[in-house]
């Protein structure tokens, strides 16, 4: 029983991180119909930003977790730069396929650029451990990191939901994702909206990075690639383009992975994640909560 609860808690914690990352995928996909492969690498950017700023903050006497603020700024800037320098020019000349290939290439640019920077290099680094304390409830150990991860994720998801539903810019985002041309005619600055979306998505990745390194205190240049793929699977599973779907998918993937680790074999957990993805896509191509939009004839 305790193993079961422990597995659920691990799954929930992992799932919350995936959900945060998946939100970024989903927001970008919703607006420009592009799988932003580089999104996973924004986490890496956030991770390194945290790695460098946490000690500085601690030295000055500010709580370490506040390093997430500069990390968000850095990530948002990187996200917007990627959109400006790569995606926007390609969108003008190419089709969906070329955009997708650009996204994959961009992911490689970020990873390999990071490796080429001497201060980062290819070897993993260990950041300062945050929220390390644990509490015990009825024999089940729960770390502060777990509680904070789940709580912060929940708050952010709720805030994001209200943001897209109620705020002006959130409304603009929904308009652009429905119909770019109509949005332009309604006086919405489409490019501006897309940039903001990238900024927010990448900012979320920075928060996810904080949560992730609180659990697994290690940063390395390819950390985003695997993490990003799981989160992406989560976004697709939940129905890409749908915010609640991303959360649902994230939690599901987290629990499946933790279940496979606990009960089957950690080396097979990848296979389970992808099998679930393939099965869901075969049965419901638009994901669990996604809308099935066919091509108009």
Partner 1 sequence: MKQTSIKARYLVNLAAALLLFALAVVIGMTGGSTMKLKITPSLWQCSYLIIMAASLNLVLGFLGQLSLGHCGFMAVGAYAASLFSLALQRAGFYTEKSGPAFMLVLLLSFLIAGASAALLGLLVGIPALRLKGDYLAIITLGFGMIIVNLINNLPFCGQQGLSQGSASSALYATGLGFSNDEKMQYLWVAALVVILCMTVMFMFVRSKYGRCIRAIRDNEIAAAASGINVSYYKVMTFTISAFFAGITGTLYACCNASLSTTSFAFTNGSILNSVFIVVMVVVGGMGSLTGSVIAAVVLFLLNYTIKNGAWVAALPAFLQNVFTYPMLVYSIALIVVIMFRPRGIMGSREFALCDIPKWPAWISSYFASRGLEKSAKKEAANHG
Q: How far apart are CB 108 and partner 1 at their closest, in Å?
A: 4
* Residue 285 in contact with partner 1, rule: CB under 8 A: yes
Candidate ranges 93-101, 150-158, 167-175, 181-189; the one touching partner 1 (CB under 8 A)? 93-101
CA 54/CA 257 separation, integer angstroms: 30
For residue 267, which phi and psi values (nearest 5 degrees)?
Answer: -75, -15
Candidate ranges 41-49, 133-141, 156-164, 279-287; the one touching partner 1 (CB under 8 A)? 279-287
User: Which residue among 1, 59, 60, 93 contacts partner 1 (CB under 8 A)?
Assistant: 93
Task: Find tokens 């609860």 and name the residue.
Answer: 5
List the alpha helices (DSSP H) in the chain: 2-32, 39-60, 68-82, 88-93, 96-116, 144-166, 168-178, 180-185, 190-215, 223-238, 243-259, 269-283
* Residue 217 in contact with partner 1, rule: CB under 8 A: no
Q: 117-121 — which CB contacts under 8 Å span 24+ positions?
A: 119/52, 120/48, 120/221
For residue 94, which phi and psi values (nearest 5 degrees)?
Answer: -105, -170
Distance of CA 41 to the CA centre of its chain: 9
Nearer CB in complex with partner 1: 81/275: 275
Q: How far apart are CB 260 and partner 1 at their closest, in Å?
A: 11
Binding mask 177-216 for partner 1 (x = CB under 8 A): ----------------------------------------
DSSP for 120-142, please give it. Answer: T-SS-B-PPP-S--EEEETTEEE
Report the site for partner 1 in 108-167 (rule: CB under 8 A): 108-109, 111-113, 115-118, 122
Candidate ranges 12-20, 123-131, 174-182, 281-289; the one touching partner 1 (CB under 8 A)? 281-289
Q: Please give the residue ranges that form the binding site for partner 1 (CB under 8 A).
A: 29, 33-35, 86, 89-90, 93-98, 100-102, 104-106, 108-109, 111-113, 115-118, 122, 222, 225, 229, 232-233, 236, 265, 267-268, 270-271, 274-275, 277-278, 281-282, 285, 295, 297
């Amino acid at each position: 029983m305790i193993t079961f609860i422990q597995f659920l808690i691990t799954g929930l914690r992992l799932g919350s991180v995936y959900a945060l990352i998946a939100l970024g995928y989903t927001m970008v996909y919703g607006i420009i119909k592009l799988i932003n492969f580089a999104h996973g690498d924004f986490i890496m950017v956030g991770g390194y930003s945290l790695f460098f700023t946490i000690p500085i903050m601690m030295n000055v006497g500010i709580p370490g977790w506040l390093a997430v603020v500069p990390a968000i700024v850095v990530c948002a800037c990187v996200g917007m730069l990627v959109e400006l320098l790569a995606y926007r020019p390609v969108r003008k000349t190419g089709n969906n396929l070329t955009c997708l290939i650009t996204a994959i290439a961009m992911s490689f640019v970020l990873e390999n650029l990071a490796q080429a920077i001497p201060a980062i290099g290819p070897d993993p680094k260990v950041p300062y451990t945050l929220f390390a304390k644990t509490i015990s409830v009825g024999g089940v150990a729960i770390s502060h990191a777990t509680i904070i991860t789940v709580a912060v994720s929940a708050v952010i998801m709720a805030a994001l939901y209200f943001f897209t539903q109620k705020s002006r810019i959130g409304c603009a985002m929904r308009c652009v994702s429905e119909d770019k041309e109509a949005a332009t005619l309604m006086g919405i600055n489409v490019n501006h909206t897309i940039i903001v979306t990238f900024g927010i998505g990448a900012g979320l990745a920075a928060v996810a990075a904080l949560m992730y390194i609180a659990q697994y205190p290690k940063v390395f240049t390819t950390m985003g690639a695997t993490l990003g793929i799981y989160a992406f699977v989560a976004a697709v599973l939940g129905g890409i383009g749908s915010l609640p779907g991303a959360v649902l998918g994230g939690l599901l993937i987290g629990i499946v992975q933790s279940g496979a680790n606990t009960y089957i074999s950690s080396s097979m957990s990848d296979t389970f994640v992808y099998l679930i993805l393939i099965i869901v896509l075969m049965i419901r191509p638009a994901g669990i909560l996604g809308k099935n939009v066919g091509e108009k004839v």
